[in-house]
């Protein structure tokens, strides 16, 4: 009993700390450009990802709802078929206990027969951003524009920690593909906040005295327990 109490006292020499980290850089595109993100397009693609601050797409002039918040958002536009991805890599911290992914996205299939649409996916860090195997898909739509009124954003938020291995690197990507006509896929407010916990020692000035006191108490009580 006394030995157990002593061990419990010694455990106080360690402090459990929790930290939260934002793993997505420039998730709201408020830098006014694609800083922190990388784009890729299929060979001969007639479209691309762009930053926009208006309710009109930059190439074809199709209507959109504009930014979800702030001044900017990212959107695909173009005059020909193709596949276009916007992606960013991140490393899941050691000790992760939760990883909440959130974003807002819309799809405007202007003609309703344009092909695939848009999705947001998780891939391994070493995967090809255009053709790599998808670990999980969090959003997938091909939504026709009716009466010229652009579609609203769809909000997503969920804990994806069960899909991640701490210490491993991944890609989060926005994927748009069209075969016949323009699809305007818009995204905004990307966020991936991880919470990690770990046992860390008390400050250096406290550790020597605390550990010596714990060790002395432990040895003393063990000797008494054997009497």
DSSP string of 78-126, one letter each residue: ESS-EEEEEEEEEEPPTTEEEEEEEEEEEEEESSS-S-SEEEEEEEETT
Helices (H) and strands (E) in the chain, counts: 2, 11
The reported pLDDT for the residue numbered 6 is 44
Decide which of 148 and 97 is more confident: 97
Where does the pLDDT of residue 112 fall: very low under 50, low under 70, confident under 90, or very high at 90 and above? confident
107 vs 3: CA distance, rounded Å? 64
Closest by Cα among 15, 78, 68 to 48: 78
- Please check the confidence at residue 102 and state whether its pLDDT lies above 70: yes
Q: Worst-scoring range by mean pLDDT, 5-14, 98-107, 121-130?
A: 5-14
pLDDT digits (tens, 9 = 90+) for 151-171: 999 999 999 999 999 999 999
In the DSSP assignment, the letter for residue 162 is G
- Please check the confidence at residue 184 and state whether its pLDDT lies above 60: yes
The reported pLDDT for the residue numbered 205 is 45
Compute the 3-state secondary structure of the chain and give helix, strand, coil in percent, each to the nearest 5: 15, 45, 40
Show the domains of the chain with their CATH numbers. 1-17+204-227 (no CATH), 20-196 (2.60.120.260)
| Residue 192 CB contacts under 8 Å (≥ 6 apart), including other chains | 22, 23, 24, 27, 90, 99, 100, 101, 102, 160, 172
Task: Check if the beta carbon of residue 137 is closer than 8 Å to that of residue 121.
Answer: yes
Closest by Cα among 30, 11, 64, 6 to 191: 30
pLDDT digits (tens, 9 = 90+) for 8-61: 444 444 455 678 999 999 999 999 999 999 999 999 999 999 999 999 999 999
173 vs 138: CA distance, rounded Å? 10
Task: Check if the beta carbon of residue 167 is closer than 8 Å to that of residue 194.
Answer: no
94 vs 107: CA distance, rounded Å? 35
Closest by Cα among 187, 17, 172, 21 to 99: 21
């Amino acid at each position: 009993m006394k030995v157990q109490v002593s061990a419990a006292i010694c455990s106080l020499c360690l402090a459990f700390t929790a930290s939260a980290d934002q793993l997505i850089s420039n998730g709201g595109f408020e830098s006014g450009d694609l800083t922190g993100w990388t784009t890729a397009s299929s060979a001969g693609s007639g479209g691309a990802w762009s930053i926009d601050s208006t309710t009109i797409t930059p190439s074809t002039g199709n209507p959109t709802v504009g930014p979800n918040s702030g001044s900017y958002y990212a959107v695909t536009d173009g005059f020909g078929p193709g596949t276009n991805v916007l992606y960013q890599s991140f490393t899941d911290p050691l000790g992760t206990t939760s990883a909440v992914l959130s974003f807002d996205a819309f799809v405007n299939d202007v003609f309703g027969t344009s092909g695939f649409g848009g999705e947001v996916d998780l891939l391994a860090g070493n995967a090809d951003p255009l053709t790599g195997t998808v670990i999980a898909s969090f959003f997938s739509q091909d939504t026709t524009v009716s009466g010229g009124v652009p579609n609203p954003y769809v909000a997503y938020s969920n804990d994806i920690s069960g899909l991640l291995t701490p210490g491993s690197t991944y890609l989060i990507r926005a994927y748009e593909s069209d075969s016949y006509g323009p699809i305007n896929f818009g995204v905004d407010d990307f966020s991936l906040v991880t919470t990690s916990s770990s046992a860390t020692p008390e400050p250096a000035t406290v550790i020597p005295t605390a550990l010596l006191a714990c060790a002395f108490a432990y040895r003393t009580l063990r000797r008494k327990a054997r009497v």
